[in-house]
Amino acid sequence: MRQVQIERNTTETQITVQLNLDGTGIYNIQTGCGFFDHMLEQLSRHSLIDLTIQATGDLHIDAHHLVEDTGIVLGKALLEALADKTGINRYGSACIPMDEALTRCVLDLSGRTAFVWHVKFPTEKVGDIDTEVFKEFFAAVADNLKAAIHIENLYGDNSHHIAESCFKAFARALRHAVEIDPKAANITPSTKGAL
């Protein structure tokens, strides 16, 4: 059963993430930040990972700590749920449009952290959230999942669409990477024999 629950409590944020890698994309997301909730809902639905996130934090300052710390906890939860990674596809990629915006995500659940972000937003905010925090979210996921994650927005004019295409591309790439390969269900996908 590839299911876990992780909690992290600091003076800035209190976060609980519960997930099931073999779910159907059922979600219950409550962070106090509407647009971020919307992005995490997209992540769950398009990855088919059941995801429950309860997060509170110092939103009276801004959303930075909440968004980054949610990425930390989500990355840790994904890593724990993957266990020794036997049988997974390991790699995933997706190129996803959101209206006029197009974003590509390529990832490797290698056990080594690398993060590449080629995304520029035309505005500093989407709703009440600073667009710069999305980079911090994905960087935190990559660091704690111990994965190589490359996200590149190829083009787009609308910040909402660009952000959403990033989350959907990551979700679809992640969906493929964590799935069990029926041709190699008992094999670790590495010549090293471990990831």
**Residue extents of the structural domains in the chain:** 3-178
| Mean pLDDT over the full length of the chain | 97
User: Is CATH 3.30.470.10 the classification given to domain 3-178?
Assistant: no
pLDDT band at 11 (very low <50, low <70, confident <90, very high): very high
pLDDT tens across 31-52, in order? 999 999 999 999 999 999 999 9
* Residue 168 contacts residue 98 (beta carbons within 8 Å): yes
Cα gap 85→192, rounded to integer Å: 13
Is the pLDDT at 157 greater than 90, yes or no? yes
pTM summary value: 0.97
Where residue 127 falls among pLDDT bands split at 50, 70, 90? confident
pLDDT given for residue 78 in this prediction: 98
Distances (CA, A) of 184 to 94, 117, 135, 158, 167: 22, 31, 34, 41, 28
Q: What is the tens place of the pLDDT at every residue in 50-77?
A: 999 999 999 999 999 999 999 999 999 9
Share of residues in the chain with pLDDT > 70 (%): 100
